[in-house]
Structure 1
């Protein structure tokens, strides 16, 4: 079972309102999302189970996972993502955000949402 600190929970109601009610997001439609700051993977798991249900959908998770606990956090992230039935649709970029975003631009990845951070306020996230 996934183990993470649920930092994204305070934002879920606002995300649901913005995405499903206002933007008419269809989770069955193939989409691409870029998440900047993935930490333990709680919001990435939510994005994959709630927003990115189509087999062609992709989630790019960017985080540097550095510092004293960086490697342990990265391992926890990987374990949490591995539990998803659609884990193969998640690509992890372990790098500073500016470098990882440049790489996605170089690869011509086009996101359906601007890069988002799970701990941002809902209004500034999307």
Structure 2
């Protein structure tokens, strides 16, 4: 699927986010962790409004040029048990927000937006870029265990040795309809992935709502 590039934004604009998931869960951890990483090539699976992508651009491109790839279909699958949202509006907000951060970055930022389902986009990236291309892989797409596992397996191949993989929503339980079905939550997939690859990864100490892993070898 072809990649789309974000359009330039005015310097005086501010990013707009209607969801606070990133601010309340991830940002306190990332403030301690991300600035110390020397990540020049970043892959994000699941972008929504661009809160995490904007954070990565803001912090990592402050140090050096950055290449960041964002994957999202911007399709509401109905699996989150939340109010219906206009995903076209969410996508447009992502593009405005990230364009703003790219425009005001002190170092060049190459932002590649891959609009589509993650299994197809990840396979395409693996074919195009090869194994070990990325320094940092952030998995925050579908919450269904089978999807999370597929994202993890291919994402790990795309991660370089000693690179970092982050899983969001490790303890996410969804709405009431999903409480009794672990297949509808990320934890089972993340546990299975860690168990299968335990000899080639190190779990980085961090609170458990997110899981941080370091790949040990190719």
Aligned length: 119
Tell me how far 1:115 sits from its aligned partner.
Answer: 3.8
Structure-to-structure mapping, 1:105-116, within 5 angstroms = 105-108=126-129, 110-116=133-139
Choose from 210, 214, 218 the match for 1:122.
210
| Residues 93 and 125 of structure 1: CA distance in aligned 2, closer, same or farther (over 3 Å) | farther
Structure-to-structure mapping, 1:34-113, within 5 angstroms = 34-53=43-62, 54-55=64-65, 57-67=66-76, 69-84=86-101, 85-86=104-105, 88-108=109-129, 110-113=133-136
Query: What's the TM-score once normalised by structure 2's chain length?
Result: 0.48
Tell me how far 1:48 sits from its aligned partner.
Answer: 0.5
Higher RCO, 1 vs 2 (CA within 8 Å, ≥6 residues apart): 1
Report what 2:82 is aligned to: none
SS in structure 1 of the partner of residue 21 of structure 2: coil
| Residues 76 and 112 of structure 1: CA distance in aligned 2, closer, same or farther (over 3 Å) | same
- CA distance in 2 between counterparts of 1:17 and 1:83 reads 24
Q: Which has the higher strand share?
A: 2
| Residues 73 and 125 of structure 1: CA distance in aligned 2, closer, same or farther (over 3 Å) | farther
Report what 2:20 is aligned to: 6
Uncovered stretches (5+) of structure 1, i.e. residues with no partner: none
* Coordinate RMSD, CA, aligned: 2.5
Uncovered stretches (5+) of structure 2, i.e. residues with no partner: 1-13, 77-84, 141-166, 170-208
Query: What's the TM-score once normalised by structure 1's chain length?
Result: 0.79
Contact in 1 for aligned 2:48/2:74 (Cα 8 Å): yes
Contact in 2 for aligned 1:62/1:94 (Cα 8 Å): yes
| Residues 106 and 115 of structure 1: CA distance in aligned 2, closer, same or farther (over 3 Å) | farther
| Residues 88 and 17 of structure 1: CA distance in aligned 2, closer, same or farther (over 3 Å) | closer
